Amino acid sequence: MATILVTHGIPSEGFSLLSGEKIVIPKPLMQFSMDELAALIPAADAVVACGALPGEIIRRGRKLRIIAGYGAGYDGVDVRAAAECGIPVTNLPDTVTDSTAELAIGLMLAVSRRIGENSLRAREEAPENLFGMGKNMGRSLRGQTLGLLGCGRIGKRTAEIAAALGMRCIGYSRRGVNHPQVESVTLPELLAQSDVLSLHCPLTQETRRLLDRSALARMKQGSILINTARGAIVDCDALADALESGHLRGAGLDVYPDEPHIPPRLIMLPQVVLTPHIGTNTQETRLRMAEGCARQIADALAGKRPEHVVNGVE
């Protein structure tokens, strides 16, 4: 019987494929501390990594045959340390596509139509201040230009939904843009032309703080920023300055550089819609994510190479 260590108390229904194994998992909505992971990982044959897994923890897992990342992003896992230990690290690039793209579109609508702002005002202000022809005007997405920074699975799916809403879609990716509904442009063109800029690139050394003060200043006057990728791609102080000055009209953010903390300046801005990293938080997606991790672990335990290895370990 193999021991499967799950770092967070995620819904476990999707682990039925591993029903014959010992699954060590915290209570729902809880997570193991680093000290607890350090104590538990030596006995583990596999880990489902739902958050940070540093090298000092990985090196204690001398029996580990796989680290299955619970999601598409794996920047929290020390993939180099895992490779040095001969442990494959996997991710789930397909299962999170629809739900994350849906959230990106939802944030675009919420900011453009001022849904979040008006929902708060409806709870705090007298109704006679709210109702009236011409008050609380927003903008329609139809006819606007959506810029995609990163055009992988999630970016492409976001473009498909946006195109159905009547948006023109342009995109920039270091790997190139290959989608019939997305026009390929340079990064400067993307910043200058986008009415809505949506981030869909991974967090790497090259993309960390890619949207710095200079890049934000080159964005189109009155445009909107949407981030469902990784918080550290954006300089949040510079973003707050751009919003406070009116250079940017609004922002919809699901991710932050120092989660679970949200930059206080952004909290104070009514034109910013904030969600607590819920891109994959649907019942259907979470079930598929657990099932995907279970398949990868079952393959590794059977001596097969699992799908979607990201650190080159055979």
Residue positions annotated with a catalytic role: 230, 259, 277
**DSSP SS3 for 209:** coil
What's the DSSP call for residue 125?
S
DSSP string, 220-246: PTTEEEEE-S-GGGB-HHHHHHHHHHT
CA torsion, ordered 30, 36, 40, 45, to nearest 10 deg: 50
Looking at the chain, which runs of residues are DSSP E strands? 3-6, 22-24, 46-49, 66-69, 89-90, 145-149, 168-172, 183-184, 196-199, 223-227, 248-253, 272-274
- Are 276 and 260 in contact, with CB atoms under 8 Å apart? yes
Q: Please name every residue paired with 77 in a beta bridge, in sequence order, or none if there are none.
A: 53
- Which H/E stretch holds residue 36? helix 34-40
Sign, CA dihedral 194-198-199-201, equals negative
- Which H/E stretch holds residue 82? helix 79-84
Q: How far is CA 2 from the centre of its chain?
A: 31
